[in-house]
Structure 1
Amino acid sequence: MSTDPTLERLANATLLVPFESDHAPRWLREGLANGLAGVCLFHNNISSLSQVTELNAQLAEAADAPLVALDEEGGDVTRIGQQAGSNYPGNAALGTVDDPELTRTVHRSLGAELRGLGFTLNLAPTVDVNTVADNPTIGTRAFGADAELVARHTRAAVTGLQESGVAGCAKHFPGHGATRQDSHTTLPTVEADRDLLLQRELVPFRAAIDAGVRAILTAHITLPALGLSSPATLAPELVTELLRRELGFDGAVVSDALDMHGVSGDIGIAQAAVRALGAGCDLLCLGRFVYGDQVAGIRSAITDAVRSGELDGERLEEAAERTTQLRSWTREKPASLEVEAVGLNGARRAARIDGELPHLDDPLIVQVDTPPLVAAGDVPWGLSPWFPGTEYVDAERTTPEEILGRANGRGLVVVVRDAHRHPATRTFVTGLCRQRPDTVAVEMGLPVWRPDSRARISTYGAAWVNAQSAAELLTSALS
């Protein structure tokens, strides 16, 4: 079958691709010149801020206003802060403060920094209503569990981010906050009917649309109460009917990463791409490890689907036009160069003390190892930059008695993250507090579980600025 360059270019216009390293490979530069919509950068593409600025400048030269995207939520999910942690508090901290103007200022500053580095699309903010405390995917990425609170901070975050010249992308439609599974590894279920969706999950998305958000990203979840068995990303009932026609969104619909098991585990990435386009998605985020030849295979699957009639050609043209409009917005939107030092102030305002901090004499700081969210990756966290003698323990392999012996005659601080999701952590901390009720617990995730300690510091996130706010409180209690 002969190659149709026009059809290939239309298919390219729907692809947001990753690449292998901290420089642009030849296949990517040629693809951008041939119409690829843009790129999504991950940890492996960023070694320093100066390096990524130079890289993004090269990407911008390869085509006319390609989308240069990343997941920079602040808080626990950070790419530009991956070496030490983010300088911006995440959504849970901002929701705890509940000052929409702070949220707007933080996102405006974050966006200004991103635009200065050469990014034009941020796959944020997360606007899920986190109604399940042990949600393994969202947690501190959400502003909170109340739909109206999430909505007002969604509006502020979108406004601030886009004021900086970076396109926002609200996620994960129609809402990932009521899941107990991680869509990176399975297809989660949300037990919500239409009325509950309208009253809860969709409230922040309406706020994002009202704020003029340029893009909305779909979730790989299923909603059996709506008669769905497939992921929302592949469901025209949700993408075209609900998001487009009922909610009136006319920007770009972006798929969540198509290499996630929740969407492509049973059908493969190429078929997931075809079906996502058919459902109404415009821009396909391929994931982290989909390179060169595999990108070409996905493009071929799309063009073959148009030729066979599986995918309507007008639908592909519509998707390509929406990504072109998004690129045009990023080109024409003036950049803001103002980066305000607001992150630490926001984190300080979010930090909470439950109980009364004791005087800490030569404290032993113990940090319980905790696996990160898949979306976050391995980013440093904790108090060791301020307390270099911090000890790291595995709660499944360390007994409280081992720590108590070393803490004899000293203050004791135990640092955890999302202890409510890790039984071994709770057992370990309980053992410490039973014999040392003067233990200070520092919770750097969601403070759902309260240990029986004299005091607990809650930071609502594990970003650098969250850790610094906790370190400052502890330092004030040193004898």
Structure 2
Amino acid sequence: MTPADPTLHRMAATTLLAPFTGPNAPSWLCEAIADGLGGVCLFAINGNVADTEQLSTLSTTLSSYGQPVIAIDEEGGDVTRLAHATGSPYPGNAALGAIDDTELTRAVHRSLGAELDVVGINLNLAPSGDVNTATDNPVIGTRSFGSDARLVSRHTGAAVRGLQEAGVAACVKHFPGHGATRQDSHHELPTIDISMDMLTGRELAPFRAAVTEGAQAIMTAHVRVPVLTGTAPATLSPAALEGLLRERMGYDGLVVSDALEMQAISDTVGIREGVVRSLLAGADLLCLGAVQGPDVLRATTQAIVDAVRSGRLRAGRLEEAASRVRRLHAWRATAGRAEFDGAIGLTAARQAVLVTGEPAPLREPLVVEIETPNSMASGSLPWGVAAWIPGADAARVEPSRCTPHGRTRRSWRWGCRPGSPRAPPTSPRTGRRR
């Protein structure tokens, strides 16, 4: 391919994952997909997700202009786009890790994947494979399966298996690990200052499990690990992506960048430079973020084209990245499908509850929701469990903090009236029984 090749612009566009606003595809986005845009990322805050019918129509429209990746962050628990109005019907990773039943984790993610598949979403930016060792981590927390690398590895593999059994590609994040950070990369560039042995034995373990399980995609972290990346974040580090992930760990799947509008990138090198450096480092599909419009899409596409024409970015590297994006569609064409399981979310949620003492029976089901600090990843969301218990009331409270014997503790209660099993309610999202 020569610098003047007319396919250069199309190949550059294929490496980009763009956002948009509203429930319908704007004309500029449809034109971009027809011109080779790699895909779109759906966000509830952008008004992209209303209900199942709308989302299915949107996906069909987008796919009529090409073969776009249609991506979403649907982790369950605190991070949900499909159920942003009611709260996710699936418990988050922390609850699944506490139960520690990998078959249950697999079943939850298989059902979640089935819901995504039916509305045309082909890439789920989940699960989080981060080992959450920093108890005050402002952005991972309960999105992680836990603080033990072996447990997180088991459940990361199970989640990947479940999603991909439903025909939805899993994207394990945030490589090489975001669990030991005390800063939020939405706002700044975090540093994880640990030894290479610690990184290999702890942070990388879940990603090795993901590679073994055949994860179709892995997402990079905007995290600096001095022993590996020097002063650069992993997203922009050839040592992290080409040297470690590709060469040492043997991964040949799709590498997706975290959102380049996050301040760890946008406030340091900027989005235009970020897309070029991400490709140079070894990323394939570059997520622009949630609020970037057509002007940024055009500017970043042109930045990639200019980098190839100047000789800074090898045409072969761009071809490789675009090929991996297209390969995702070939995988999906041969992937299996799974059935939605209307009971699995509540089944898992019940197992995650630890009851101590002898709570008095309640006259009506009651769910007590805990008010917790919001992060950029989760925002303010209702809990989903009350919607699936017929007749339940919900109360949202802030947990009291006390310090018996000099230790900080939080306590709360959850109760549900005992009785014979009843039919689960109908899902407001799918119209199917939960």
Does TM-score exceed 0.5, indicating one fold?
Answer: yes
Q: What secondary structure is seen at the aligned counterpart in 1 of 2:409?
A: coil
Q: 1:174 and 2:133 equivalent?
A: no
Q: CA separation of 1:362/1:326 partners in 2, compared to 1, >3 Å: closer, same or farther?
A: closer
The aligned counterpart of 2:15 is 14
The aligned counterpart of 1:316 is 318
Q: 1:46 and 2:49 equivalent?
A: yes
Partners of 2:220 and 2:255 within 8 A in 1:
yes
User: Where in structure 2 are the equivalents of 1:54-453 lying within 5 Å?
Assistant: 54-63=57-66, 65-226=67-228, 228-357=230-359, 369-381=371-383, 390=395, 414-416=397-399, 429-430=401-402, 449-451=408-410
Specify the code of the residue in structure 2 equivalent to 1:157: A
Which deviates the most, 358-367 or 96-105? 358-367
Q: CA separation of 1:111/1:383 partners in 2, compared to 1, >3 Å: closer, same or farther?
A: closer
CA distance in 1, matches of 2:240, 2:352: 35
Partners of 2:261 and 2:289 within 8 A in 1:
yes
- Displacement after TM superposition at 1:267 (Å): 1.8
Specify the code of the residue in structure 1 equivalent to 2:7: T
- Displacement after TM superposition at 1:148 (Å): 0.4
Partners of 2:402 and 2:408 within 8 A in 1:
no
Identity %: 51
- Displacement after TM superposition at 1:378 (Å): 2.8
Specify the code of the residue in structure 2 equivalent to 1:37: G
Q: What secondary structure is seen at the aligned counterpart in 2 of 1:144?
A: coil
Partners of 1:382 and 1:415 within 8 A in 2:
no
Specify the code of the residue in structure 2 equivalent to 1:230: A
CA distance in 2, matches of 1:27, 1:312: 29
CA distance in 1, matches of 2:356, 2:234: 40
CA distance in 1, matches of 2:370, 2:153: 34
Partners of 2:73 and 2:124 within 8 A in 1:
yes
Partners of 2:18 and 2:292 within 8 A in 1:
yes
CA distance in 2, matches of 1:176, 1:146: 14
Deviations along 1:423-478, one digit per CA (max 9) or x if unpaired, are: xxx5xx439x9xxxxxxxxxxxxxx9524x6xx44xxxxxxxxxxxx342xx469x
Partners of 2:362 and 2:415 within 8 A in 1:
no
Partners of 2:228 and 2:239 within 8 A in 1:
no
Which deviates the most, 374-383 or 35-44? 374-383
The aligned counterpart of 2:35 is 34
- Displacement after TM superposition at 1:331 (Å): 3.0
Partners of 1:193 and 1:226 within 8 A in 2:
no
CA distance in 2, matches of 1:337, 1:359: 35
Q: What secondary structure is seen at the aligned counterpart in 1 of 2:208?
A: helix
- Displacement after TM superposition at 1:78 (Å): 0.3
- Displacement after TM superposition at 1:184 (Å): 0.3
Q: CA separation of 1:101/1:389 partners in 2, compared to 1, >3 Å: closer, same or farther?
A: closer
Deviations along 1:212-254, one digit per CA (max 9) or x if unpaired, are: 0000000000012336111110000000000000000000000
Q: CA separation of 1:57/1:355 partners in 2, compared to 1, >3 Å: closer, same or farther?
A: same
The structure that has the greater radius of gyration is 1
The runs of 5 or more residues in structure 2 that have no matched partner are 420-434
CA distance in 2, matches of 1:283, 1:312: 16
CA distance in 1, matches of 2:385, 2:345: 17
Deviations along 1:89-113, one digit per CA (max 9) or x if unpaired, are: 1111110110000011111111011
Q: CA separation of 1:341/1:315 partners in 2, compared to 1, >3 Å: closer, same or farther?
A: same
Q: What secondary structure is seen at the aligned counterpart in 1 of 2:286?
A: strand
Partners of 1:103 and 1:153 within 8 A in 2:
yes
CA distance in 2, matches of 1:216, 1:389: 37
- Displacement after TM superposition at 1:334 (Å): 3.7
- Displacement after TM superposition at 1:364 (Å): 11
Q: What secondary structure is seen at the aligned counterpart in 2 of 1:352?
A: coil
CA RMSD between the two structures = 2.6
CA distance in 1, matches of 2:33, 2:301: 13
Q: What secondary structure is seen at the aligned counterpart in 2 of 1:288?
A: coil
